[in-house]
A and B are shown apart, each in its own frame.
Chain A
Amino acid sequence: MRIILAGTGRTLYYLCRTFISKGWRVSMINPRAEECRELAQRLKAVVVHGALADPILLEETGALGADAFLAVSSSDADNLVSCQLAALRFGIPRVLALVNDPDNEDVFRRLGVEAFCPTPTIAGLVEQRSALDGITNLVPVAGGAVNITELELPAGAPATEQPLGRLELPEESLVACLVREGRLILPAGTVEPRPGDRLIVVTLPANHGRVLSALLGPER
């Protein structure tokens, strides 16, 4: 597997290190001379200094015959144009762009470039974790349409005072499993959760807050 990374900063360094450890051959293109020197010293990779969307430099990084191209700079415009160049001029089969503005994820797809934006995931994690104690995990799946949340029940939480079947949860939400002292308990309606138990719940963004209130109490 031969991959070309285009961009700047720590992201570029750590991605490169990860791919090298997978045994891939990595080339990089980076417009910052200082970073290029450091990257070349620290990593076993081809490092080319220059603008991301320069066709000659791309050729020097070995764009012809590369398997994948990944653009991770802080400029959405540079990421788009370098990806288009990689795909259209050099025929690289797998091309992926980081987008910094979440709105651009959809724009890039409509322009034919596959894109990912980490901002909403990070923002969601921070928001949920800072708002609620005891919530240790939150993963959006199906493109953010569904949340999977892991939470610990504190003493006095409504969910600890009755069997699961009696809890009034909003429609289209689910307690998927209960973990007690490291053991998995299937959440049948007769199971009575105790303080310290962990629940894995499946919610929609629209009912997430109501589900958490029903389980943990309204002040949450």
Chain B
Amino acid sequence: MNLKLEILNHNNMNIIINNNSREVAEGCTLERLIDEIGYKEFKFAVAVNNQVVKKTAWDETILYDGDKVIVIKAVSGG
């Protein structure tokens, strides 16, 4: 039981997404994270640690423990 828990912990990590902590699997890509968020009808812009990551690079961007992810969407404005 203890061993199982240890493996589970070992395989997960925490990232910060829009100021909220979220547990993701180790080796999780940005693409997978955005999939998990859902709302497929939206077009998102994403930055990891304040660097904009273009959509074409989401699948090759691997997240690391403690990464800060910002996900932004379109809204109305003047």
> Do A and B form a real pair?
no
Question: CB within 8 Å of B: which residues of A?
Answer: none
* B binding-site residues for A, Cβ under 8 Å: none
